[in-house]
Amino acid sequence: MSTETEQKQAVAYKIRLIDMKQGVNEILLNYEDAEEMGVHPHDRAKLLTAHGEKATAVIDVSDTLVKKGEVGAFVEITGCCNLKDGDEVFIFPSSRPASVDIIKKKIAGVAWSREDIRTMINDITAGNLSDIELTAYAVAIQINGMSMEEVAWLTESMVETGETIEFEKCPVFDVHSVGGVPGNKYAPITVSIVAANGLIIPKTSSRAISSAAGTSDYMDIICNVEHSAKSIKKIAEEVGGTLVWGGGVNLAPADDDIIRVEYPLSLDPHGQVLASVMAKKKAAGINYVVIDIPVGAGAKVKTDDEARRLARDFIDLGERIGIKTRCAITYGGQPVGHAIGPALELMEALSVMEGAEKPNSLIEKSLSLAAIILELGGVAQPGDGRALAEKTLKSGAALKKFREIVAAQGGKADVSSKDLKPGKYTHEFISPKDGYIESLDNQALIKIARAAGAPRSKGAGIMLNVKRGNKTRKGEPLFTVYSENQRKLEDAKSLGFTLQPVKVEGMILEEIVE
């Protein structure tokens, strides 16, 4: 149908901008207009601007927010069609997307075809599905799963609908953690070691969703983490590496919409996890990736068997889409290092690059992941990567490279741990008795750090004084909570007393007298 014909069949409305994000293309019609058009909430409408731009939008209805003859345009549809207050647009009813019936196939347990998946991802990227429909997608694959063939098609479709980066120099490396363990601040150290040895490692990272800090949450304290695909390529080829926010560039954009509806229901479909990680790596031009899989009672992955299954699936998917994949199953039963929260984590990572010999868990993890990449890249022989990684760290070459990366991303060329300050409001939790640290509850520590303000408040978080197996005496500090706000500190204190995240046991568990 031509634009001229569509305009003749459609009704003209005046745009009223609504400064709210809905997550999908959505418009708001007056109740009377909706009745006259014969549409209801969650139906679809086609929107055509006077300058010829088109979009499909989900309909919502109001008696009061828009007048008859007006259409409310939320942020997504406004940006997609370049709308301004008072613009004239033409609107007419539209059929629901084909993706709705495709989602119902999976609900019924029927496998998807490549074309099914491509259609769905195109609709998700275009904002054509409502949150209800997106949630149905996530629930369907959570319950009925996907074959590895379906996961590969999903990954490829997610790549096709966004930007991609192509590097002149190859091969290109990356490292990614599936998360779930607090204080997992290996990235600045590992990336700097790898880049200092002449390999290219353009690391794109996330911001925290349910944790106390993602890599981008602490890196943006000292430099700009929002870069275009062109800028990421330029920086990586000039200095060897990046530590940037993946959300700042349009890599596999459907993933962000899917994550948004998964989060409220704590959904984590296995196939979507695989596709989410690998689509972003493929789009970023990665040839080799090392996947860190922390395993333990307080991590996302609870058992060794679950970790091995996930590792095998990552490797299988990598083979299908052309990325050489290695997986490292790491200890996730307690935090990595002692610091949890943006500023505290970056201080700890920087102190290690500046020469600190502790914390051992952070140093060992960072060196071990770097060693795998150095051996994959051929700059170290098999078995020699660990020694080269340690030499690079101890010589100061990693710190020098980290500062080059920070400067290339707009930060200070001489950044140091002394530049970082934790929140000024603090509370120290002390040991109730003599004994040994039996366990640390990862999820409880994350909740307390978030209550203190992390990751939004950069200085908020936790500094641990003890780790599992350490000896402690009554009255000695177990951990300190930091906050930038007195009220949030009180919230964190209250939660800390309730959750008791550090468990102390005496040497005598029980005394039996008879």
Report how far residue 374's alpha carbon sits from residue 199's, in angstroms, rounded to the nearest whole number.
8
**CB proximity list for 98: less than 8 A, separation 6 or greater:** 119, 123
Scan for tokens 């068997």, then name that residue.
Answer: 305
β-strand partners of 72 = 16, 28
Report the 10 Å Cβ neighbour count for 6: 14
Q: Is 434 a catalytic residue?
A: no
Report how far residue 204's alpha carbon sits from residue 219's, in angstroms, rounded to the nearest whole number.
11
Give CA 483 to chain center in angstroms.
23
Q: What share of the chain is helix, strand, coil (3-state, %, to 5)?
A: 45, 20, 35
Amino acid in the structure at residue 182: P
- Do residues 448 and 304 lie in contact, with contact meaning Cβ atoms separated by under 8 Å? no
Report how far residue 309's alpha carbon sits from residue 486's, in angstroms, rounded to the nearest whole number.
45
Give CA 219 to chain center in angstroms.
14
* Closest among 310, 289, 290 to 299, alpha carbons compared: 310
The residue annotated as part of the active site, out of 256, 257, 268, 441, is 268
Report how far residue 116's alpha carbon sits from residue 27's, in angstroms, rounded to the nearest whole number.
27
Return contacts of 496-501, CB within 8 angstroms, 24+ apart: 496/427, 496/429, 496/448, 499/441, 499/444, 499/447, 499/448, 500/441, 500/444, 501/440, 501/441, 501/444, 501/445, 501/448
Element (H, E) at 14: strand 11-17
Report how far residue 44's alpha carbon sits from residue 66's, in angstroms, rounded to the nearest whole number.
18
- Do residues 192 and 399 lie in contact, with contact meaning Cβ atoms separated by under 8 Å? yes
β-strand partners of 202 = 242
CA–CA–CA angle 495, 497, 502 (5° rounding): 100
Report how far residue 443's alpha carbon sits from residue 302's, in angstroms, rounded to the nearest whole number.
13
Residues annotated as part of the active site: 268
